[in-house]
Protein backbone atom coordinates (compact mmCIF):
# COMPACT_ATOMS: atom_id res chain seq x y z
CA UNK A 1 0.00 0.00 0.00
CA UNK A 2 2.69 2.44 1.05
CA UNK A 3 4.80 1.21 -1.86
CA UNK A 4 1.96 1.89 -4.28
CA UNK A 5 1.41 5.35 -2.88
CA UNK A 6 5.11 6.06 -3.19
CA UNK A 7 5.16 4.82 -6.78
CA UNK A 8 2.23 7.08 -7.59
CA UNK A 9 4.02 9.98 -5.96
CA UNK A 10 7.14 9.37 -8.02
CA UNK A 11 5.14 9.19 -11.22
CA UNK A 12 3.45 12.40 -10.24
CA UNK A 13 6.82 13.88 -9.40
CA UNK A 14 8.11 13.11 -12.87
CA UNK A 15 5.02 14.60 -14.46
CA UNK A 16 4.89 17.74 -12.40
CA UNK A 17 8.49 18.57 -13.05
CA UNK A 18 8.01 22.29 -12.52
CA UNK A 19 6.52 21.72 -9.08
CA UNK A 20 9.18 19.38 -7.77
CA UNK A 21 11.82 21.62 -9.26
CA UNK A 22 10.55 24.55 -7.26
CA UNK A 23 10.41 22.36 -4.17
CA UNK A 24 14.00 21.19 -4.61
CA UNK A 25 15.22 24.69 -5.14
CA UNK A 26 13.52 25.77 -1.97
CA UNK A 27 14.86 22.80 -0.02
CA UNK A 28 18.50 22.88 -1.00
CA UNK A 29 19.08 25.56 -3.59
CA UNK A 30 19.26 22.81 -6.17
CA UNK A 31 18.07 23.31 -9.74
CA UNK A 32 17.17 19.94 -11.23
CA UNK A 33 18.49 19.91 -14.82
CA UNK A 34 15.91 17.34 -15.99
CA UNK A 35 12.79 15.49 -14.85
CA UNK A 36 14.72 12.40 -13.78
CA UNK A 37 16.78 14.42 -11.36
CA UNK A 38 13.65 16.15 -10.09
CA UNK A 39 12.09 12.76 -9.38
CA UNK A 40 15.32 11.86 -7.60
CA UNK A 41 14.67 14.65 -5.13
CA UNK A 42 11.56 12.74 -4.07
CA UNK A 43 13.52 9.51 -3.57
CA UNK A 44 16.13 11.43 -1.59
CA UNK A 45 13.53 12.11 1.09
CA UNK A 46 14.39 8.62 2.30
CA UNK A 47 18.02 9.64 2.83
CA UNK A 48 17.83 13.18 4.06
CA UNK A 49 17.11 12.48 7.70
CA UNK A 50 20.70 11.22 7.88
CA UNK A 51 22.36 12.98 4.94
CA UNK A 52 22.74 16.67 4.21
CA UNK A 53 23.54 18.11 0.79
CA UNK A 54 25.29 21.03 2.41
CA UNK A 55 29.04 20.45 2.03
CA UNK A 56 29.66 22.14 5.37
CA UNK A 57 27.36 19.78 7.21
CA UNK A 58 27.66 16.15 8.21
CA UNK A 59 24.62 15.03 10.16
CA UNK A 60 24.12 11.43 11.22
CA UNK A 61 25.69 10.42 7.91
CA UNK A 62 28.32 12.13 5.75
CA UNK A 63 27.09 14.90 3.45
CA UNK A 64 26.38 13.68 -0.06
CA UNK A 65 27.01 16.83 -2.06
CA UNK A 66 29.22 15.78 -4.97
CA UNK A 67 29.35 12.16 -3.82
CA UNK A 68 29.29 10.92 -7.41
CA UNK A 69 32.82 9.66 -8.27
CA UNK A 70 34.02 10.53 -4.78
CA UNK A 71 36.22 7.99 -3.03
CA UNK A 72 34.32 6.24 -0.23
CA UNK A 73 34.95 7.41 3.31
CA UNK A 74 37.00 10.38 2.12
CA UNK A 75 35.42 13.33 3.94
CA UNK A 76 37.93 14.50 6.53
CA UNK A 77 35.48 15.47 9.25
CA UNK A 78 33.27 12.39 9.32
CA UNK A 79 33.83 9.35 11.46
CA UNK A 80 33.35 6.47 9.06
CA UNK A 81 33.25 2.77 9.88
CA UNK A 82 36.55 0.91 9.54
CA UNK A 83 35.00 -1.33 6.90
CA UNK A 84 33.96 1.54 4.65
CA UNK A 85 37.40 3.11 5.04
CA UNK A 86 39.01 -0.13 3.90
CA UNK A 87 36.58 -0.66 1.03
CA UNK A 88 38.40 1.04 -1.87
CA UNK A 89 35.06 2.00 -3.38
CA UNK A 90 34.65 4.97 -5.71
CA UNK A 91 30.99 6.04 -5.86
CA UNK A 92 30.33 5.49 -9.53
CA UNK A 93 26.92 4.59 -10.87
CA UNK A 94 27.28 0.84 -10.26
CA UNK A 95 28.39 1.22 -6.66
CA UNK A 96 25.71 3.79 -5.86
CA UNK A 97 23.09 1.47 -7.34
CA UNK A 98 24.33 -1.52 -5.34
CA UNK A 99 24.57 0.62 -2.20
CA UNK A 100 20.98 1.85 -2.25
CA UNK A 101 19.77 -1.60 -3.21
CA UNK A 102 21.39 -3.17 -0.16
CA UNK A 103 24.27 -1.26 1.43
CA UNK A 104 24.99 -3.91 4.05
CA UNK A 105 25.65 -6.41 1.27
CA UNK A 106 28.26 -4.10 -0.26
CA UNK A 107 30.08 -3.33 3.01
CA UNK A 108 28.99 -5.66 5.79
CA UNK A 109 30.35 -3.58 8.66
CA UNK A 110 28.94 -0.24 7.51
CA UNK A 111 27.41 2.11 10.06
CA UNK A 112 24.63 3.02 7.66
CA UNK A 113 21.41 1.27 8.53
CA UNK A 114 20.20 -1.09 5.82
CA UNK A 115 18.32 0.55 2.96
CA UNK A 116 16.61 -1.24 0.14
CA UNK A 117 15.64 0.70 -2.94
CA UNK A 118 15.14 -2.08 -5.43
CA UNK A 119 13.09 -0.35 -8.14
CA UNK A 120 15.55 0.39 -10.97
CA UNK A 121 13.60 3.53 -11.93
CA UNK A 122 13.87 4.90 -8.40
CA UNK A 123 17.58 4.05 -8.40
CA UNK A 124 17.98 5.91 -11.71
CA UNK A 125 16.25 9.01 -10.38
CA UNK A 126 18.26 9.04 -7.19
CA UNK A 127 21.56 8.57 -9.00
CA UNK A 128 20.71 11.33 -11.47
CA UNK A 129 20.00 13.65 -8.54
CA UNK A 130 23.28 12.77 -6.78
CA UNK A 131 25.23 13.03 -10.03
CA UNK A 132 23.93 16.45 -10.94
CA UNK A 133 24.14 18.01 -7.48
CA UNK A 134 27.76 19.07 -7.62
Residues that bind ligand HEC (CB under 6 A): 46-47, 49-51, 60-62, 64, 67, 72-73, 75, 80-81, 84, 91, 99-100, 110-113, 115, 117, 126
CA distance 31 to 8: 23
CB of 76 to ligand HEC, least distance (A): 11
CB of 120 to ligand HEC, least distance (A): 14
Cβ atoms of 13 and 20 closer than 8 Å: yes
CA distance 120 to 82: 29
CB of 20 to ligand HEC, least distance (A): 17
Q: Please identify, using beta-carbon distances, which residue of 38 and 100 lies nearer to ligand HEC.
A: 100
27 CB-near residues (< 8 Å, 6+ apart): 41
Query: Which has the closest alpha carbon to 43: 106, 127, 112, 99?
Result: 127
Q: Please identify, using beta-carbon distances, which residue of 18 and 110 lies nearer to ligand HEC.
A: 110
CA distance 67 to 92: 9
Q: Please identify, using beta-carbon distances, which residue of 18 and 92 lies nearer to ligand HEC.
A: 92
Q: Please identify, using beta-carbon distances, which residue of 18 and 102 lies nearer to ligand HEC.
A: 102
Amino acid sequence: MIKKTMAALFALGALTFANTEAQAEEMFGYKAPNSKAAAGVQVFHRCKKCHSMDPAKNTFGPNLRGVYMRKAASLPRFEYSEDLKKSDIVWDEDFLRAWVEGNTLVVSGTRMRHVQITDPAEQDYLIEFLKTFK
